Amino acid sequence: MVDADQTFVIVGGGLAGAKAAETLRAEGFNGRVILIGDERDHPYERPPLSKGYLTGKEERDTVFVHEPAWYARNDIELHLGQPVTAVDREARTVRLGDGTTIRYDRLLLATGSEPRRLDIPGTDLAGVHHLRRLAHADRLRHVLASLGRDNGHLVIAGGGWIGLEVAAAARGYGAEVTVVESEPTPLHHVLGPELGQLFADLHAEHGVRFHFGARLTEIIGQDGMVLAVRTDDGEEHPAHAVLAAVGAAPRTALAEAAGLNLVDRAHGGGVAVDESLRTSDPEIFAAGDIAAAHHPLLHTRLRVEHWANALNGGPAAARAMLGRSVSYDRVPYFFSDQYDLGMEYSGWAPPGSYDQVVARGDVGKRAFIAFWLKDRRILAGMNVNVWDVTEPIQRLIRSGAQVDPEALADPSVPLENLI
């Protein structure tokens, strides 16, 4: 039985928003729960968009967080295909695109992020793509299949996770692929040159061409269609389609217009929240890609754009909205699948933060664990084709204990013994 005396509104129809709604009901909240999303699709998970669904190994229905009937069964009021255009903090209302006004007692912002755009000539041509939404994946899946049939060329601007996963999917369809990346290796800012080269070699073995140390300056077309791209070093590459995979920006316009405290883009951007995911307004919370949270374990403000953060952050925010004591201190985690390589990464080791990389296992055979250390303390760990080790890796990170690098590199020494 819904108690209409209290209304919790969730803005954002992604994984964080859907899991927050689920948690409110699971924790016994019997007020109104209103979930507002600007896409017409029901809330879905994003990893399949560049992995299983894009490759054709998973069906479209598998991406959704809940079956459509779940929302009605749990008295979740859905407003799909409706952007929120304004938040009035004094009146505690949100205004929808159609002019409807909804009052809230507590509000969760889970508006996610959007792909950064290429600021070059030719981006208005047909055949220039981004990958963030299910509709993007629907189109791109069709494009990759067509490129594969016609021996077409895909140029990817950016050698990050999305760029590499799409490259692997495109090669699976038989398309020709060129990745243009400004750094000397893919994933340079995430993994450093040591491990970035491993992914360069992996993709090269599968026929992907890399053009490092360059940026796109123009997309060349004719009759509205893509023909080629040019880079800032004067090179030209044939292309029938282009994917812009140059990162994502948190969707903070709504929060900014409402006067909530934000974090400067130079420090990761996002909406500033405390460890309970509460914003500068005590009745407004933020979760997922937009939340720049004070991390109790890492002692820094951190914004994480990965699936696990939405999966866990939405429920954490929901509990905080209910007045529970929350300290959101999850170790950052993400995963990737490319060809026959599967990996999981735990922790946070930005460039310049570590002084040593230790490998355990066979890097050449791509079956190993890599650790990033600072003063012999583990900041992050990545397991590549080695499974069921995430928990001990995260315990090592949480412990903050100094470890013996030689023992860490020795597969005969159980990770549990190093804690």
> How is the chain split into domains, by residue range?
3-114+249-321, 128-246, 340-418
Look over the chain and give the mean of its residue pLDDT values, rounded to a whole number: 96
**Which residues on adjacent β-strands are paired with residue 44?**
64
Q: What share of the chain is helix, strand, coil (3-state, %, to 5)?
A: 30, 35, 40
Query: Can you identify the CATH homologous superfamily of domain 340-418?
Result: FAD/NAD-linked reductase, C-terminal dimerisation domain (3.30.390.30)
Overall fold of domain 3-114+249-321 = FAD/NAD(P)-binding domain (3.50.50)
413, two tokens: 């020494």
State the residue for tokens 């509990």: 319
φ and ψ at residue 185, rounded to 5 degrees: -145, 160
In one-letter notation, the amino acid at residue 16 is: A
Predicted local confidence at residue 260, as pLDDT: 98
φ and ψ at residue 115, rounded to 5 degrees: -65, 140
Express each pLDDT in 94-138 by its tens digit. Answer: 999 999 999 999 999 999 999 999 999 999 999 999 999 999 999
Weakly modelled stretches of the chain, pLDDT under 50: 1
CATH number of 128-246: 3.50.50.60
State the residue for tokens 């981006």: 123
Query: 309: part of which helix (H) or strand (E)?
Result: helix 307-321
Predicted local confidence at residue 215, as pLDDT: 97
Predicted local confidence at residue 268, as pLDDT: 87
> DSSP character for 267?
G
Query: 299: part of which helix (H) or strand (E)?
Result: none
3-114+249-321 shares its CATH topology with 128-246 = yes
Predicted local confidence at residue 105, as pLDDT: 98
Give every CB contact of residue 127 below 8 A, 6+ residues apart in sequence. Answer: 143, 221, 225, 226, 239, 240, 241, 242
Predicted local confidence at residue 1, as pLDDT: 44
State the residue for tokens 């004719």: 222
Predicted local confidence at residue 3, as pLDDT: 60
| pTM (global) more than 0.75 | yes
